[in-house]
Amino acid sequence: MIITTILVLVALLVLSCLLWLARAHASAAKALENPAEHIRAVDIEAFRNLVDPDEEEFLRTNLPPVEFRRIQRERLRAAVEYISCAAHNAAILVRLADAGRRSSDPATAEAAQKLVDNALRLRLYALHAIPRLYLGMILPGSRISPVRIAESYEQMTRLVVLLGCLQYPTRGVSAAL
């Protein structure tokens, strides 16, 4: 009887998820109308500093262990926040570049495809990095260095600029976004 209850509950959960997704699919086009309002600023330099192993080593050697653990937890919490923002921006860029992939101009389509791939990779890194950073908060001694996120974010930035220049050649770099 317990198995039946669990199976019925799981089935109902799956069904509600599917109905919710069907609604989300119908309104997906509307969500693209105002992407600007959802972009969050990310300071890559600050992020690099937060996940820099040398910086961590410096703090470890110069601070008392209790103080180091407290500060390290704060730093990792901030890093999680940065990664979440970068992943959030990547999600918006996937949606924006998706349209560019179907462009009739091969250079624009290629740049858009690269941007989509890069943004997806960044979200994949974020999926790996965030749990590891939380683990680092529980065990402040463990070494975590999600530098690939910063590199991927920088590459994504460059691709957005390139895509903007290809789509709006007369409006300069600012037209990228």
Partner 1 sequence: MTVSHILWYYLWLAPKVLQVILLCGMVRRGLHRQFPMFFVYTALQVVQSGVLLVISRSHFGFGEEYFRAYSAATAVSAAVRFGIIHELFSHFFRQYPALVGPGRLLLRGATIALLLVAVGVAVSAPGNSADFLLNVTYALDRIASILQSGLLISLFVFSRYFVLSWRNQVFGIALGLGIFASIELAMSAMRLYGLVSGTVFDFVIMGTYHCCVLIWMFYLALPERVTPHTLNPLPEHNLDIWNRELQRLLQR
Sign of the torsion formed by the C-alpha atoms of 36, 37, 38 and 43: positive
Complex with partner 1: residue 79 or 126, whichever CB lies closer: 126
Closest CA to 137 of 77, 177, 95, 86: 77
CB of 120 to partner 1, least distance (A): 4
Determine the Cα–Cα distance for residues 164 and 162; give it in Å rounded to an integer: 5
Determine the Cα–Cα distance for residues 144 and 132; give it in Å rounded to an integer: 7
Tell me which residues touch partner 1 (CB under 8 A): 1, 3-4, 7-8, 10-12, 14-15, 17-18, 21-22, 24-25, 28-29, 32-36, 39, 41, 44, 91-92, 94-96, 98-100, 116-118, 120-121, 123-124, 127, 154, 157-158, 160-161, 163-164, 167-168, 173-177
CB of 116 to partner 1, least distance (A): 7
What own/partner pairs with CB < 8 Å and gap ≥ 24 does 103-112 have? 103/167, 105/166, 107/166, 108/163, 108/166, 108/167, 111/159, 111/162, 111/163, 111/166, 112/163
Complex with partner 1: residue 48 or 60, whichever CB lies closer: 48
CB of 110 to partner 1, least distance (A): 13
Complex with partner 1: residue 35 or 140, whichever CB lies closer: 35
Complex with partner 1: residue 144 or 162, whichever CB lies closer: 162
Determine the Cα–Cα distance for residues 137 and 48; give it in Å rounded to an integer: 18
CB of 76 to partner 1, least distance (A): 22
Cβ–Cβ under 8 Å, residues 68 and 59 = yes
CB of 163 to partner 1, least distance (A): 7
Complex with partner 1: residue 72 or 118, whichever CB lies closer: 118
Determine the Cα–Cα distance for residues 39 and 147; give it in Å rounded to an integer: 22
